[in-house]
Structure 1
């Protein structure tokens, strides 16, 4: 068995698909992760209408800055806002900002600074009677269950801030959990007033977009929750968090959130058009607290800012700058719903194997099927994968909805391009092979549907027609070479044009003889009759050539024609050399013998019995039985009536 050698088209398609898969698997510069995350951003949007009943954002927007003043506000102004929030009896408050330095602008803070600079003790005593921004803010924080923000610190710090207890059930392993040597947090007075402390970290992916918030991180040697987790814990009234090993999850009161090895929460983007439903301007709340308080009652309230002056804008999932307070609200909503899309190892393995199978299948379809069918299969495969990614994400599993469909599309395009150019090359080869042997309309039919012919060989019924010139050898001996070639060219041009005009195929030209077949390579209805009509036209064309001055000068002889119908094997023949579409079989030999029999019969056209039966004896003149070399019994042969 000869070794399998893929065609150039197949090699090109497989190479393109292999390069795409290799890049995807190697994932330079986080390519695989970026494709997956971008696809997730496009495919999934978390509705927030239901979350508006549980989470509210108090937004320090431009209107609030216009009302209160430029940022940063004084502690008294911030305390006034938090007092209004606390008066509305929220379930919990989360402050999306970091307060790390003592107040320096309130009257009490200024008095203390003057006392320290001048050494006058009476000024220090006066400070206790003046408005103190830190005290006011601490009192406002203590008026409602409030979580303040922390940030990881790259330098080691003392672990003086309180931390919520975390209980373990089973052997919990979080190998990818975020770590930092230290932590920045609020001053002790504010930390003591708060009931929770949570991390404000928003982790950016390789493309710089924020899609994750920490549920837990190890900072300053202490495991600390994210701000969203603390807000939900305060709402639930839980005194501790619980980590469970099987399944790996974080239990926050009555809420359970699945964990990945990094203990982060992948945020599914929310539609900004829905943010107004869960947002309230701080300016409006301060101006009319009685009117808007009901929107905060019993809900988790996240206080932060959308005004650019606060520095809280982050490039988020879909590329737009999003206020961090809205991302923290999304995180709270996700924790409440217990939704945290994960990529467990078994899913990663299945995704990799499925991607390879998807790409291979699409390339095979592109190479083996017609373009329309291949496109339908490729489209269905890609759509099915995307639908699976969408459905699995709703179930909490993050299947890559971008990379595999993109690779499948690349594989299909490569296969389609390769097969297109292969088809073009084959069409050009077919056209070159048949354009001088078939009618232009027949050639166009072949080019339009090349699969209609079987170049590798097939058995089909044909009518074979053979011609020869009487006395041609003697003529060649007396004719000048140039005149002989000129006459022969004119003669053969006339005969081949006549064959093509009657929808026959010039099978080959041997010297002065033309071999033609009818009903190949495409079906030709009534091909014996078409062959007979062609034979009559050939005699007329040959006589016209004899009547030319050069024909008369060289003494061009009569043309003799043999005709018979029967089965033949037709196809490309030529071995490793030049292929030629030819016909082989007993019918070809018989037609040649009938052509030669014209000499002894004194006829110009000799027709075999099978062709005569198909043509109809009424059109023919019987010549009687003829012994034909290679045939056991004589053949009943026929000719046409004399031309008038």
Structure 2
């Protein structure tokens, strides 16, 4: 049995469970993590894209310096009228104001007179109002100088009196599934609305992470469709009389924008360092020092970057972007035509991609080594991310570059970690199994390459070596228990170290006997020769031990050894509570019989014919042909060539 197979199977099963869990969370967008991850990754891709060409737009900024020169905020309508007159004098194509003039003017003399007359019930004071400066009238007169678009906001209550300015034509069925909607809307007072040629939403909603990435193209206010301020600016600049919804797009003159599913425009947010080139402080106009030609024929976008006004929002490129700069980014995106688009089909495509990446990652875990699987997974995830980036840059399709690879990476990571954990567990198990049977170096090899083992059972050629202590039973009857146990501990330590040193495996210790096998569990070159060398070393070591006082006092007998080579069945044998990695076969039985035969033959090492056949010529010499239980006929047995054999002269090797 290949141990890598169950390890990888466990890894794949673990990874599959992780894939199921994370894919479900991904598909359901649990806790909004999918959206946040996608949008953050898309932000990075859009920041890395080449900058857009500048739109014909100039921002008139009521900045902090302007407020310091011309009065604190809020300004009166009369003050705003003076600024609008200055802007109109520079002949922009249109004036777009990124703020809401909510309700009638309350700060001009005429407004104050009207309020006082109503409060006091004085008709004479009311009669004075038309003769006094009126902020709404002054601002309306200024707005009438050039085409203008004003701001509106959505309301949570119905507003039946709200009147839109821009006609909206719908050709074919609408495709919006999640438009921005509210019960009503609020806009400028009638005096200002009547002179405006456009009315657009200035409200901007941030995503769940607090980042503004979109502005409305259209929104629903009760039963009224209201355009966004940026699309109104584009429509008026191009001279279009209406907006048209057709085939999932919003047409504004020569421009079009995909509506997607929510009717919002994905911004190409600009960094603060780019704002200066398109921005003129309002005080320059009010103080009579505008740059020549700065507004001629361009969109004049009026707003404020002053902190005291509070119109600052976080975008993908800035922590505190004035809303007027956000609207400018929207206008620039519309003019560029390179509008990031996320059609509804991309959601299912990403789901399918996430599942496919996860399955491919698990296939790599199953079929390849961990490092190769990691590399293959990394390449797959990089390919998806790169493809998504290319689609974003080349086709403006906002395919998620991060979510599907993350799903695949979780499956891959869990699979690899589970595989490593299972490998570690099996290595510990194998070490515990074999550390008492094999040399540490062999155990390390097994732990490093568990696939080399076939614990389920195999047939392989081995050399079995059995030892026995002569006269052991009689010795136990006369020896003191503690002295005998101490001597046996040292004796077995010596023999097992010799077996390990020659590449053998100590199968078990039974009484006074050691059972050792060579060429298992791993292949061992010249295992018959190494077993014979091991037998010689055991005999020499045991004879040295017998001369030591503690062994001599016991009358410790000589060690007899039997060995044979042949095919055996090798593997784990036992029940659930006790498994024993051992060998079974005629060679093992014969080795045990030959160890006993030493007593009758007068030898100390008895070598079977299987072992003798695999030894170099002259390594052993024949002793006798004997009957072995379980074997028909007689068996020729051998002894090392240097051993004295009764009735013959020893032959010592050179």
> Does TM, scored on the shorter chain, surpass 0.5?
yes
Query: Which shows bigger deviation, 108-117 or 223-232?
Result: 108-117
Between stretches 629-638 and 297-306, larger displacement belongs to 629-638
Determine if the alignment matches structure 1 residue 514 to structure 2 residue 514: yes
How far apart are residue 406 of structure 1 and its match? 3.4
Once residues 59 and 631 of structure 2 are traced to their aligned partners in structure 1, the CA distance between those partners, rounded to angstroms, is: 102
C-alpha displacement of 1:33: 3.0
Aligned to 2:54, what secondary structure does the other structure show?
Answer: helix
* Aligned pairs for 1:146-185 within 5 A: 146-159=148-161, 161-185=163-187
| Runs of at least 5 residues in structure 2 that lack an aligned partner in the other structure | 1-5, 645-651
Counterpart Cα distance in 1 of 2:419 and 2:432: 20
Judging changes above 3 Å, is the alpha-carbon distance between structure 1 residues 632 and 337 closer, same or farther for their aligned structure 2 residues?
Answer: farther
Question: What is residue 414 of structure 1 aligned with on the other side?
Answer: 414
Q: Cα–Cα, structure 1 residues 528 and 6, in superposed 2: closer, same or farther, change >3 Å?
A: closer
The equivalences for 1:331-346 within 5 A come to 331-346=330-345
Matches within 5 A, 1:198-597: 198-244=200-246, 247-287=247-287, 289-291=289-291, 293-317=292-316, 320-363=319-362, 365-366=364-365, 369-394=368-393, 395-476=395-476, 483-597=483-597
User: What's the Cα RMSD here?
Assistant: 3.5
Q: 2: CA distance between counterparts of 1:240 and 1:465?
A: 101
1:184-216 deviation per Cα after TM superposition (whole angstroms, max 9, x unaligned): 111222222221111112123333433222111
TM-score of the aligned structures, taking structure 1 as reference length: 0.87
Q: Give the structure 2 partner of residue 144 of structure 1.
A: 146
Distance in 1 between residues matched to 2:206 and 2:425, nearest whole Å: 50
Cα distance in structure 2, aligned partners of 1:362 and 1:284: 61
Give the Cα–Cα distance (whole angstroms) in 2 for the partners of residues 48 and 191 of structure 1.
39
> Residue 332 and residue 626 in structure 1: after superposition, are their counterparts in 2 closer, same or farther (change >3 A)?
farther
Structure 2 matches for 1:65-84, cutoff 5 A?
65-84=67-86
- Does the 8 Å CA contact 1:305/1:325 hold for their aligned counterparts? yes
Q: Deviations 1:588-608 (Å, cap 9, x if unpaired)?
A: 344334434433433222334
Deviation, 1:233, is: 0.5
- Name the SS for the 2:92 alignment partner: coil
Name the CA distance, whole Å, in 1 between partners of 2:490 and 2:85: 110
Change (3 A) 1:624 1:59: farther
Is this contact kept in 2: 1:314–1:323, CA < 8 A?
A: yes
Distance 1:56 1:371 in 2: 57
TM-score of the aligned structures, taking structure 2 as reference length = 0.86
Conservation of the 8 A alpha-carbon contact between 1:141 and 1:194: yes
- Contact in 2 for aligned 1:386/1:405 (Cα 8 Å): yes
Residues 364 and 207 of structure 1: CA distance in aligned 2, closer, same or farther (over 3 Å): same
Change (3 A) 1:65 1:48: farther
1:54 is aligned to 56
Cα deviation, residue 417, structure 1? 3.3
In structure 2, how many angstroms separate the alpha carbons of the residues matched to 1:453 and 1:6? 16
TM superposition shift of 1:120: 6.8
Q: Which moved more, 1:80-89 or 1:421-430?
A: 80-89
Instruction: Please give the alpha-carbon distance, in whole angstroms, between the structure 2 residues aligned to 1:429 and 1:564.
Output: 30
Q: In 1, Cα distance between the equivalents of 2:522 and 2:126?
A: 112
The aligned counterpart of 1:630 is 631
Q: Structure 1: 5+ residue runs without aligned partners?
A: none
* Contact 1:109–1:127 (Cα < 8 Å) also in 2: no
| Contact 1:455 1:572 survives alignment (8 Å) | yes
Q: Sort the Cα spacing of 1:122 and 1:263 in 2 relative to 1 into closer, same or farther, 3 A.
A: closer
Measure, in 2, the Cα distance between the counterparts of 1:71 and 1:239: 35
- CA distance in 1 between partners of 2:81 and 2:318 (Å): 34
Q: Distance in 1 between matches of 2:313 and 2:60?
A: 18
Change beyond 3 A, Cα 1:83–1:428: same
8 Å CA contact 2:114, 2:125 repeated in 1:
no
In structure 2, what is the Cα distance between the partners aligned to 1:334 and 1:393?
Answer: 14
Which stretch shows the higher mean deviation, 19-28 or 304-313?
A: 19-28
Match of residue 100 from structure 1: 102
Using the TM superposition, give the Cα deviation of residue 464 of structure 1 relative to its aligned residue in structure 2, in angstroms.
Answer: 2.9
Match of 2:603 in 1: 603
The number of residues matched between the two structures is: 637
Moved more, 307-316 or 569-578: 569-578
Secondary structure of 1:63's match?
A: helix
Contact 1:46 1:271 in 2 (8 A): no
Q: Is the 8 A contact 2:55 2:332 kept in 1?
A: no
- Cα distance, 1:65 vs structure 2: 1.8
- Residues 10-25 of structure 1: matches in 2 within 5 Å? 13-25=15-27
- How many angstroms does 1:360 deviate by? 4.3
Give the C-alpha shift of residue 96 in structure 1.
0.7
Aligned to 1:93, the other structure's residue is in SS state: strand
Asked whether the equivalents of residues 623 and 639 of structure 1 are also in contact (C-alpha less than 8 Å), the reply is no
In 2 relative to 1, CA 159–608 (structure 1 residues): closer, same or farther, beyond 3 Å?
Answer: same
Q: CA deviation at 1:10?
A: 6.2
Which has the higher mean CA deviation after the structures are superposed, 550-559 or 177-186?
550-559
Task: Please give the per-residue CA displacement for 1:588-637, whole angstroms capped at 9, x wherever unaligned.
Answer: 34433443443343322233455445542244444466665537785574
Q: Which sits farther off after the overlay, 474-483 or 463-472?
A: 474-483
The worse-fitting range, judged by mean Cα deviation, of 356-365 and 497-506 is 356-365
